[in-house]
Amino acid sequence: MSTTSNEFELQEILKQRKKKEIQKRKLEIEERKLHQIQERKVNNTSVYISNIDISSLATKEDASKVREQLVKEFSRFGVIRKDEDGVQKCTMYKDENGKLKGDALVIYANPESVPFAIDIMNGFDFNGTKLHVEKAIFEPVEASILEDKVNSTLLPSKRLKTDNHHPESKVEDRSVVLANIIDIYADLDDDELEDIKEDIKEGCQQFGKIAAYKFYENKGEATVTFTLEKSAQECQKYMDGRFFDGRKVLAFISSKANIEQGVSGEDSDIPDVQYDDVIEENDVFIQGDT
């Protein structure tokens, strides 16, 4: 058997092994996603409230009073989860023109509160109208489209910020660069790249809320921008030196790399977006569970 034939057989063996590994990884990802979906359905802690009378709500103060009423009524069925500022999670939704729509979302601390609240509050007379209460459904979305959807639904006090909410924290200080995550010379198809993107993103979400996420196929790296500098630091420490798909990941804070390379903040391609309050786990509310 010639050397050329041996090389060809070896290439075929390696190709088949790679194909099996990819199939195995895809199966593991699908199983993990299915488990997450099933777990979320079981542990759903949110209720969607509609048919709220908004005809008499002329000011922000009026809307705040109604929100306080909702919190008071729905607190009877369990503890309502609080955000980082200690504010109970009860969101009144707005349309694209900034007007209240007459629906709201309440997030409990425990899933047991949801059926209890639905049983009692569905059809409850609230300021002259009967509320419609049901389980809420959420759908994951990319960080790039999260800002528009959340801004169109949240009250002004909870909208995504582009001002100096964290003036001491620059976007580069909140950004982690993950290098050597793929072989730039490998012949990866779109599905494989999408799986890798999702794996990286899911791995980083455990450290905090993500404000922006970019994946650079030609560089074999990704940039993850968090809302908090502490989250970025924890992610960098955890990810640096870990192995991903057989490759050793190099993780570093973007600002430190820019200083070493002489790149100013103005030249950075990382979007300067800061989040005041992002819906739980980068999810956007879609509709009630009809």
Range name among 48-52, 95-99, 249-253 with the lowest pLDDT average: 95-99
CA-based nearest residue to 78, from 52, 36, 115? 115
pLDDT, tens only, 235-282: 999 888 888 777 888 999 987 654 444 443 444 444 444 333 333 444
Q: Cβ neighbours of residue 175 under 8 Å, at least 6 residues apart?
A: 223, 224, 225, 226, 232, 253, 254, 255, 270
* Alpha-carbon span 95 to 214, nearest angstrom: 29
User: Which burial class, exposed, middle or buried, applies to 119 when counting CB atoms under 10 A from its CB (0-12, 13-18, 19+)?
Assistant: exposed
- For residues 143-155, average pLDDT: 45
Arithmetic mean of pLDDT over the chain: 75
Q: How confident is the model at residue 184 (pLDDT cuts 50, 70, 90)?
A: confident
3-class state of residue 51 by DSSP:
coil
* pLDDT tens, position by position, 111-145: 899 999 999 999 999 999 999 999 887 654 443 34
Q: Which domains does the chain have, with CATH numbers?
A: 46-160+280-288 (3.30.70.330), 171-267 (3.30.70.330)
Is this model's pTM higher than 0.85 or not? no
Band of residue 194 on the pLDDT scale cut at 50, 70, 90: confident
* pLDDT reported for residue 155: 45
For residue 244, which of 186, 181, 184, 191 has the smallest C-alpha distance?
A: 181
DSSP-based helix, strand, coil % in the chain, nearest 5: 45, 25, 35
pLDDT over 50 (residue 17): yes
Quote the tokens at residue 234.
């924890």
Mean pLDDT for the stretch of residues 42-62: 85
Whether pLDDT at 165 is above 50: no
Confidence class for position 27, pLDDT limits 50, 70, 90: confident
